[in-house]
A and B are shown apart, each in its own frame.
Chain A
Amino acid sequence: MLTYNLNILLLVPIMTLAGIVLVKDTRNARIVTAIGMSVQLLLVFVLLYMYMAERNAGNIDEVLFYQDFTWYESLNIRYSIGVDGIAVGLIVLTGIVVFAGVFASWLMKDLVKEFFFWLILLVTGVFGFFISLDLFIMFMFFELAVIPMYLLIGIWGTGPKEYSAMKLTLMLMGASAILLVGILGIYFNSAPDGGALTFNILEISKVNIPIDAQRFFFPMVFVGFGVISALFPFHTWSPDGHASAPTAVSMLHAGVLMKLGGYGVLKVAIYLLPDAASEMATFFLIFVTIGVIYGALSAVMQRDLKYINAYSSVSHVGLILFGLLMLTKTALNGAVLQMISHGLITALFFGLIGMIYGRTHTRMVSEMSGLLKVMPFLSVAYVIAGLASLGMPGLSGFVAELPIFVGAFSHPEPFYRVITVIAISSIVVAAVYILRVIAKMLMEKVKEEANNKLTDAKWYEKISVISLLLFIVAIGLVPFWLSEMIMTSLEPIIRRLN
């Protein structure tokens, strides 16, 4: 039986990095990156296929393709990697978003080599994060994914980029510090009955960490991961950061990096500290629900496309945390689907915004009109992204949000149902801010003379847009395969929670 070596998911980005360093011409740097990420995308699909084949063959291990090497003996840090259905789903998401992101930044002009270098370094971190099963390694990859962001925004960004980059990095670093304490807390409590301390998630999941320790460290891990998922009130890095970041970075950041938080909350905070999670969910749900409705209401009043989308992300990623904290299987499944779905949708949004900005040189909604006539392809894609974002059935947003709401509503506590109703009302607000942009920017007549001469999408932009659209539609029409894969992998977590 052929098995899948997960290290290849790190090897390809690293080889791409080497390739970028070696090429002389900047034009070649982007070709190297495109080839590398195409190969990566292919490998991701091979992983998806092999994972499903293995599961269908009756393999019911918690994680597949497990590998384990000692990395630092005396602290029992091990390089252990393996994937479950949730990780596979997010790896697929990452593969697609990165692929689309590379093509979306095809026309990058300044310091092309360096840009792609940092971008791929970040991507390496993300892939590493999703495959690692050791908290220490996981944290290391997490930092690897977060830090290049500073340079990417600070150097290639627009607007007040230094300020935004600094704010984003400092807030995420602050969260990392808290997170590190939380992870160490888990580590030092990982062997309550004596024996060797461990960072390994699989091993920790077999022991019950003392409830006092759980109560102390759960908030740290939750907030630590929550900040990168724009947990209210620590979300303010997101609008500024996304607005200043270059296109591909916005796509990756909103599309994938914000999901690191959700994944971490699920696999570390909830899985390893289940008792505290059940106890404290209500408290954190209040903040999360505020974030959901607050992000949506803020988006209504924004004028800058990127700000609209950033606040919309605060709202939609809030729904991920909302679903996670419900701690029911249906809601967890919805939350993971929402990670994937929102990743695709928001990446598409930021990609399209970048492409439109590259033509009109403005992101102000009021300064554009009638673009549907001028650039039909981009406009139609924008409309589809908008519809997906407001939860139109047939697109991925709906199948992701539905289980969250159903799962949340089926909670026996009336309080949970009340906040569910509040959270659901955000989808109406979403319709308002999305349709407002579509109406103002894409429809009516072209008011700005100069905009009449703009061109529609080029081939590389079409690749980028279509690759994302394809999956938004595929998940929306046939959610079964993805949700079954996720659902099976949620079993151990649900078992821990009960």
Chain B
Amino acid sequence: MAKHPDHTYLVALRENDSRKLEELYTNCSPGIIRWVMANNGTEADARDLFQEALISLHGSAHKTGFELTCPINALVFTICRNQWVNQLRRKKKEAEVRIIEAERYTPETATESAYERWEEEQLEQTRLDESLAQLSDTCRKLLRLLGRGVSSSDAAEQLGMSNANTVYRRKNACLQRWREIFDGLNG
């Protein structure tokens, strides 16, 4: 499927571009607020849902080859709607959910497909977090420092390692251990 022009909003999430993100809030948040409030939620609920949907897309936005193939407002709305219905169900408030309204909403094929990919992404991100959580403290700290772009020599200093070569060897050991864990989770 072709990349949608709204892909620029994913780039904005990745780059933390507040001007572009302001547009996103302006264009998308009213619909989310209306729907959540019409379904037993508050504007604070809508705000949380909206923000967390964007944070989740921020994770996807970093993935090589991940492209938005539908309007972003449609995808964000679908994410928020399904998350809110899930929250109400968890709170055992099914009777309060306008299930008929929810089920009547059928996203466009492109949105449905994008939502399915988003769900797969969420599962993968969960597995990545779980695999990182099983590493030693030192490995986690080291990988997070390197993920932030900290150089090996600076990482060595921050972690009390003797030099960049030690960092390199430790990093490789951590990555090999991480892969064993990750493969185990996927297995």
Answer yes or no: do A and B interact: no
